[in-house]
Structure 1
């Protein structure tokens, strides 16, 4: 769902006459951490299918990614929108932490919008970093319980944390695109006044 916040924010930024050049102004502390976390998470997902050892420790690996990600977000909390992103990621982390390191997914909601093969995988055991919700699930309302139908990438089931995180991503991109244009215009006016 992260792509949705990015796409919508870019479109609105352009409608507001913002500049894509503003995206080049991204200055985050330890910004190299994010791509490494993404690569690590993809690696765990890929190899957990072929290795019992990795599958056994994949829950811990996903939680490690979230912990490092939360630290990264906290260090960058002064950036516009990052407190929203931090809050959303923390809610997802909390849902996973109390449920064995996996994001609980409502099978009933998922069955309404997702492919039956996904439901079969989910109910048959662990699927990536997800697990089927059951009577023993804690804080189930923080899990993937919201059906979301996207015309361009298809339906999915998301959490309240995903929505909050996307609000933060939207705010951050708006800040970069529109503030950059304002900054350029004010610099131009200042230089003309001299």
Structure 2
């Protein structure tokens, strides 16, 4: 529930910033409906929820394959809309996350960090079996550990993390994209045409 509320707050803030800087809701609607392959984005999020959160997903190979499927779903959407404001930044974040996930069989995270921020269930899974959802335990054999989940937001934030550098780029690009969608269609980097 915290993640859902944080996501809604994120979307609301991005749209509000766009509106406060001269954007309009009518342009948001027009630009959003003109995004190419837009249906892939929510589909990827649904698949991610199924593979990460649904009870009974207790096979790492299945979760890992599902995680890769979410990337396979979102990448055509990213490519089709690559000229939109913020999309290159979002794509860079996805690329960094995909790289570290492929190299390590999941997103590396320090189990002690999870325990410190109160994510005890994930910590226990990592400590006992080496993985939990899309996360794998960060060890001395982890490749590119600086691309793993190690950034934590301070206490007042409901979804404190941990986050990766790629996650921050995804959020920055997504924020830029959402705020940009409120702008006059001619102001976007590439005029949108219906898919």
TM-score by length of 1: 0.79
Aligned pairs (5 A) from 1:40-119 = 40-47=47-54, 49-50=55-56, 55-100=60-105, 102-119=106-123
Larger Rg: 1
Question: For structure 2, which runs of at least 5 residues remain unmatched after alignment?
Answer: 189-195
Report the count of equivalent residues: 180
In terms of fraction of residues, the more strand-rich structure is 1
Residue 134 of structure 1: CA displacement?
0.9
Distance 2:78 2:186 in 1: 25
Question: For structure 1, which runs of at least 5 residues remain unmatched after alignment?
Answer: 184-194
Alignment of 1:36 with 2:43, yes or no, is yes
* Deviations 1:138-174, CA, capped at 9 Å, x for gaps: 1111010111136352422100001111111111122
Distance 2:156 2:18 in 1: 21
Asked if 2 retains the 8 angstrom alpha-carbon contact of 1:87 and 1:164, the reply is yes
Alignment of 1:8 with 2:16, yes or no, is no
CA RMSD of aligned residues (A): 2.7
Q: For residues 80 and 56 of structure 1, do their structure 2 counterparts lie closer, same or farther at Cα, with a shift above 3 Å needed?
A: same
In terms of fraction of residues, the more helix-rich structure is 1
Task: Single out whichever of 25-34 and 14-23 deviates more from structure 2.
Answer: 14-23
Q: For residues 22 and 153 of structure 1, do their structure 2 counterparts lie closer, same or farther at Cα, with a shift above 3 Å needed?
A: farther
Q: For residues 182 and 62 of structure 1, do their structure 2 counterparts lie closer, same or farther at Cα, with a shift above 3 Å needed?
A: closer
Q: For residues 146 and 42 of structure 1, do their structure 2 counterparts lie closer, same or farther at Cα, with a shift above 3 Å needed?
A: same
